[in-house]
Structure 1
Amino acid sequence: MTSSNETPARTFALEDGLPRVPVPTLDHTCERFIEWCSPLLTDEQLAETKSAVEEFLRPGGAGRRLHAALEEYDAQEGVHSWLDLFWPSRYLGRRDRIALNANFFFLFEESPLGQVDRAAQLVAAAVDYKLRLDDERVPPVLRRGQALSMEQNKFLFAATRIPGAEQDTVRAPYSAAEPGPSKSRHILVFHRGNMFRMEVLDAEGRPHSRADLVAGVQAVLKAGEVRAERDTSVGHLTTMARAAWAQTRDTLLALDPANPAALEEVESALFCLCLEDFAPSTTLEACDHLLHGDSGNRWFDKAVSFIVFEDGQAGINVEHCGLDGTTILSFVEDVLAAEAETPSLGVPPVRPVEFVLDGALRATVREAADSFAQYAADTATTTLSFPDFGTSRAKQLKISPDAFVQMAYQLAHKRSKGITGATYESIATRHFNRGRTEAMRVVTPEILRFVAVMDDPSADEAARREAFRAAADKHVERAKQCQAGDAPEQHLWELQWIQRRRGEELGVTEHLPLYDTPGWTVTRDDYLSTSSAPSVNIQYFGFGSTSDKCIGIAYVLLPDRFNLYLSTPQPVAAAMFDFAGHLKTAVRELEALLSGE
């Protein structure tokens, strides 16, 4: 670590010194798995799950052999974590559309700048960050004095997800195919479904000034003034299910010699800038358009896309396979604070990026556009804001802020749907070498007791407070287990992936009943999927729901306020709005309950 008088460490200098994610023992994982799934199961379901776990743990059985393979992999030279293959399998293996389903967004705090100036500021600051990252002058992020992994920063620029028939890949710098930082000098700019290449670095690698970029953005707005025909905006294709998009991409590449060159410009661009031709009338409208928007004005496979509305409101849409929220928050905080100015190099070159399409491909583009527009319309969303409740108030009440809001979610959900359902919370683990997140399952026996006592007319306030604090304490304990890498789900999930990847080689080809048990299926079928993004530079954070009954809860919990973006499939929208109403009541009720101590 460095003191305040020392030169900050280079960006990746501390990486190899970070602790490795520990490999749990199989017995411990299975014991914890039973503990975590039990509150959601009937006695019969629990018995079925325990039986399958015992079979999985049998000496010489499938579980033991898969775990031995995992330990062997973890010990190999060049492996940084036993999760090194898990993350590509998890993110790149999904076969549905990533737009709205996987990508996430942040709505930035408001700015006095108009669209052109705001866009130029964001681009200039992002390019400056890229140049500092290239030179490893972005210091490692520290949390409570502990260094965090900076590996994900390698996926901020010129990183693009490439669709595949069975699993996607990622084109990115710092890879065997493209060693070191990206050599790209351009970004991709969208306006009204038109796509342009804009140079942001000159041939010598010098950045264009903000004034230069203002002129470049104005040139794009003028050149893209006429809206592109809907079936010519190829960005729509990035909303397709992945195998279908892979097949269409192959067709696109083979159709005309101009198309590989155009796709190369898209996929090698440092990032996207999406200029919208309207000003959202509400915060919710801004959030919705950051999540999905006009897909002809996006390239959802690009790692980072800045989106700037006509009135200067702005945000970011992020492709999730290589980037988590904590990395993007650090990046955004740097970008929004940047004020560096550079000498003018003149108006940056701007030219259209155009694809040759035949009638069949235009029909595919149109179908993709229509399908995604309907999918977005079939997603219900809302925002909630508590402008006078935040972490400071929770700490005054002597309770973990995150535990407080998670208990409020559970109480609101029970009251709105009459049940306590599977709940996921993302826990950051970047303090490990190449650490990302851990999957926390929120529901505990203490939570079941808490929600029951809160609506038990015979319970007094003391009993309710005791149940509330017991549930919150258990939540904090479990979150610490996840932070320590001591959680069961990803371990068991990776063993399942190992069988898929290497089952025949390892002689583990038999069906594994554990993954059909209620313990596995019920606890992973989310009713609530939750994640937080604490940053004073962010108004809202959001993502789509994860199942046909799930409410996605993205929340920004700050010292003085608490903002949420909720999403769910339209057929169950009423339940989400009911949940939102109960959440308003629950937060105030729980605050009052602790205030009475």
Structure 2
Amino acid sequence: MLCLKGSGGRFWRPQQPPRDWWGFLSLPRVGSGAGAGAARDYWRSGDQQLVSSTWDLDHHYVHRSVIPTLHFQQSLPRLPVPNVEDSIKRYLAAQKPLLRENEYRITEKLAKDFKNGVGKKLQRHLVELDKKNSHTSYISGPWLDMYLSARDPIVINSNPFLILKRDPQESYNRQIMRATNLVVSAMKFLNSLRNNILEPDIYFVNPEWNKSKKFKRFLSFLPTSVSWYGAYFAEAYPLDMSQYVHLFNSSRIPKQDKDQLFSDPGARHLLVMRNGHFYVFNILDPIGNILHPHEIRAHLINILQDKETIAEYPLGYLTTENRNTWAAAREQLLKAGNEESIYKIDSAIFCLCLDSFRIEESSHLSHCMLHGYGYNRWFDKSFSLIVAANGDAGINFEHSWGDGIAVVRFLNELYENSTKHPAIEPRSTTAVLSPTNVEKLAFHLNDSIQTAVTIARQKFDKKRHELKVKPFEFRKFGKKYVIQERMSPDAIFQLACQLAAYRHFGKIVPTYESCSTAGFKHGRTEAIRSATIYAKQCAEAFIRDRKKHSVQELRKLINNCSKYHKFLQLEASLGAGFDRHLFALRYLAESRGDPLPEFYQDPAYDYINYNIISTSTLNSPSILLGGFGPVVPDGLGIGYHICDYWVGCNVTAYAETDLDEFLLCLEGSFNDIFDVCEGRPLQ
């Protein structure tokens, strides 16, 4: 039975401590003073004998960094505003392979007129605004507004997913055990973050510096106003960590025409979804200590033992709707007296989705994490941790607040901590606890809300049945081979995609590769346009004229692609792309109420932003698969990882795109590249 707002569970003394356990009692890190006394009094409210407070209190954290989490934030360099001349030059270079000669000439004239006219005026205003807002970047506000103003459903269209590898010890992959260990590790990450002891994100050119405690201690002593420069001179590059504030206790709130981000860091409860029902329980005590892991497990068992079938009107479907439609339905929910329950959803630390079905195969796993069946998801949460009945786990995250670099870091810590230091284990024993403090949220649903849920479900079911997801692996070579051949692994993957697209579509198509600009204060992302003139030359040689070129000529074309792609990659990571700059200039013109410049009305501008192929790398030791939906109806979404000895990706497409044929083209492209690298002529 669920105990609605029941008394808190009591702690019992274990017969012996399990391995790597964090201690049976949650107490503050400081062992004296008012805070510690309050904690002891809090736990003495139970009538059972409590465990000694001598346990290792550091088990409340994933680690304790010598360098404070935000030590470099103040001195991070600012994202540069590119020159209009440079952005137009880069823009025209990206348009060249996509347009016919007569189309290119029209676009070139419009671009040059913009550069010499209204573009100069907008640039001047943009630079002035940037100087007035030295605490942030020129793209941060406009990019957030772009996400929040989009009215399409965020499921599939916006929210990405990442799938964790299974625990190496299969006995730890039972649903409740996996969920408990992941939840505890997530809370330890939260505590490390909020106590400013989470290791800062730093890219080390020399990995040895990352292992040096002396070097890190030296950096920690530097004043925050110059700390970034101290790291820079040692070729260590701290990254922006401003996005982490929205990782927990946050939700996207639907509003008419533009959504809002909501956060309540004071909330202490976890949200759990099961069969479309909502449950909450406090997972932090009043002074921020984590609930004991065995009690967390008891709460989750209690929820699974609630024998409710799938909710008749699962409210999660509403988060799959058009944002204006969802905003109107939310207002109805609030007016019907559901304010408290909705607030508990919005303010929860995060959402744990306990699915009732087992994963059948890899495509089913991707479908589960990207959209599921709709009823057991709340896509507006900053992230949802999803655990299937067989222990497969991953997350689906709302994209407006942050990018992959923060989420991947979180997942890496989550996986490492939960597998190396599990909070509970198969051989640990637990006494039966008193009734658990789980609250099942209740909702008042009138006819109008019920109708809205039914319509949302019908739309969602139609959409998810149209979507296809398939994994792809190429095992003949990987990162080590490509580096040995003195080429860029990322460039080779992107080239293979261009060759496959040329085979599949018969032409080079607009392509987007996401690149992080987290090296700058409040940086977001920049686009790498891998559909280059060099990729086009290579595609024509490999596919249209494959019998006319020698192996040596083909190899030279591959090398040219690799070199140019590395150059574009470096430009983008340094904030010197053109996409974000041109977007910011357009945003500025629109926000000022200026007429839209003719440059932005060019069909070629719309076309280059109609990304048939959208890609993002997901390299991580903890991630099995990941991905996102296509960004256009006839496009492909490609999340890829390049491992030491193989290359893999997860590709999404709608029914109108022949996904199987594209994957055959992709395999053929990789084979062609490999044959040329091995000195074999193409067949």
Corresponding residue number in structure 2 for 1:396: 484
Segments of structure 1 that go 5 or more residues without pairing to the other structure are 1-5, 174-181, 504-508
- Structure 1 residues 460 and 188: CA distance shift in structure 2, 3 A: same
| Aligned mates of 1:50, 1:28 — CA distance in 2 | 14
Q: Helix, strand or coil: the match of 2:577?
A: coil
Pairing 1:545–2:545 present: no
Q: Helix, strand or coil: the match of 1:424?
A: strand
Letter paired with 2:576? D
| Aligned mates of 1:376, 1:341 — CA distance in 2 | 36
**For the Cα contact (< 8 Å) 2:140–2:523, is it kept in 1?**
no
Note the 1:448-527 alignment, pairs <5 A: 448-455=536-543, 456=545, 457-503=547-593, 509-527=594-612
**For the Cα contact (< 8 Å) 1:101–1:544, is it kept in 2?**
yes
How far is 1:12 from its partner?
Answer: 1.2
| Aligned mates of 1:245, 1:57 — CA distance in 2 | 41
- Structure 1 residues 57 and 388: CA distance shift in structure 2, 3 A: closer
Corresponding residue number in structure 2 for 1:23: 81
Corresponding residue number in structure 1 for 2:59: none
How far is 1:221 from its partner?
Answer: 0.6
How far is 1:347 from its partner?
Answer: 7.1
How far is 1:488 from its partner?
Answer: 1.0
- Structure 1 residues 348 and 596: CA distance shift in structure 2, 3 A: farther
Corresponding residue number in structure 2 for 1:559: 644
- Structure 1 residues 43 and 518: CA distance shift in structure 2, 3 A: farther
| Aligned mates of 1:440, 1:240 — CA distance in 2 | 31
Corresponding residue number in structure 2 for 1:170: 261
- For the aligned residue pairs, the C-alpha RMSD in angstroms reads 1.9
Q: Helix, strand or coil: the match of 1:85?
A: helix
- Structure 1 residues 98 and 77: CA distance shift in structure 2, 3 A: closer
Q: Helix, strand or coil: the match of 2:78?
A: coil
| Aligned mates of 2:65, 2:316 — CA distance in 1 | 43
**For the Cα contact (< 8 Å) 1:465–1:593, is it kept in 2?**
yes
| Aligned mates of 1:68, 1:431 — CA distance in 2 | 25
How far is 1:78 from its partner?
Answer: 4.9
Pairing 1:323–2:389 present: no
Name which of 243, 246, 256 aligns with 2:324.
243
Name which of 448, 453, 465 aligns with 1:360.
448
Give the number of the structure whose alpha-carbon radius of gyration is greater: 2
| Aligned mates of 2:601, 2:194 — CA distance in 1 | 47
How far is 1:30 from its partner?
Answer: 1.5
| Aligned mates of 2:191, 2:436 — CA distance in 1 | 17
| Aligned mates of 1:346, 1:108 — CA distance in 2 | 33
| Aligned mates of 2:440, 2:114 — CA distance in 1 | 57
Letter paired with 1:19? P
**For the Cα contact (< 8 Å) 2:275–2:311, is it kept in 1?**
no
Q: Helix, strand or coil: the match of 1:75?
A: helix
Q: Which runs of 4+ in 1 moved over 4 A?
A: 340-348
Corresponding residue number in structure 2 for 1:308: 387
Pairing 1:64–2:154 present: no
**For the Cα contact (< 8 Å) 1:120–1:214, is it kept in 2?**
yes
Letter paired with 1:502? R
How far is 1:396 from its partner?
Answer: 2.2
Q: Helix, strand or coil: the match of 1:190?
A: strand
C-alpha distance after superposition, 1:181-234 (max 9, x if no partner)? x111111101111111122112332211222211111011112x2223342x11
Corresponding residue number in structure 1 for 2:160: 104
Letter paired with 1:163? P
Letter paired with 1:161? R
How far is 1:395 from its partner?
Answer: 1.4
| Aligned mates of 2:371, 2:186 — CA distance in 1 | 22
Q: Helix, strand or coil: the match of 1:15?
A: coil
Pairing 1:134–2:194 present: yes
Corresponding residue number in structure 1 for 2:210: none
Segments of structure 2 that go 5 or more residues without pairing to the other structure are 1-63, 205-235
- Compute the TM-score of the two structures, normalised by the length of structure 2: 0.81
**For the Cα contact (< 8 Å) 1:108–1:538, is it kept in 2?**
yes
Corresponding residue number in structure 1 for 2:177: 117
- Structure 1 residues 7 and 411: CA distance shift in structure 2, 3 A: closer
- Compute the TM-score of the two structures, normalised by the length of structure 1: 0.92
Letter paired with 1:554? G
Corresponding residue number in structure 1 for 2:286: 203
| Aligned mates of 1:424, 1:570 — CA distance in 2 | 21
Name which of 129, 143, 152 aligns with 1:87.
143
C-alpha distance after superposition, 1:328-360 (max 9, x if no partner)? 111011111112759999875211112211011
Letter paired with 1:406? Q
| Aligned mates of 1:93, 1:336 — CA distance in 2 | 34
How far is 1:519 from its partner?
Answer: 3.2
C-alpha distance after superposition, 1:38-71 (max 9, x if no partner)? 211112211221222233234xx43222222211
How far is 1:84 from its partner?
Answer: 2.4
Letter paired with 1:314? A
C-alpha distance after superposition, 1:497-531 (max 9, x if no partner)? 1122222xxxxx22321112133112111121000
How far is 1:137 from its partner?
Answer: 0.9
Note the 1:260-279 alignment, pairs <5 A: 260-279=339-358
**For the Cα contact (< 8 Å) 1:103–1:291, is it kept in 2?**
yes
| Aligned mates of 1:388, 1:314 — CA distance in 2 | 29
| Aligned mates of 1:349, 1:386 — CA distance in 2 | 50
Moved more, 342-351 or 330-339: 342-351
| Aligned mates of 1:395, 1:347 — CA distance in 2 | 59
Corresponding residue number in structure 2 for 1:37: 95
**For the Cα contact (< 8 Å) 1:216–1:347, is it kept in 2?**
no
Corresponding residue number in structure 1 for 2:231: none
Letter paired with 2:380? D
- Structure 1 residues 164 and 373: CA distance shift in structure 2, 3 A: same
Aligned-residue identity in percent: 27
**For the Cα contact (< 8 Å) 1:302–1:319, is it kept in 2?**
yes
C-alpha distance after superposition, 1:417-451 (max 9, x if no partner)? 21110100001111111112101111111111101
**For the Cα contact (< 8 Å) 1:208–1:346, is it kept in 2?**
no
Corresponding residue number in structure 2 for 1:228: 310
Pairing 1:596–2:679 present: yes
- Structure 1 residues 48 and 385: CA distance shift in structure 2, 3 A: same
| Aligned mates of 1:321, 1:212 — CA distance in 2 | 34
How far is 1:588 from its partner?
Answer: 2.4
Letter paired with 1:138? L
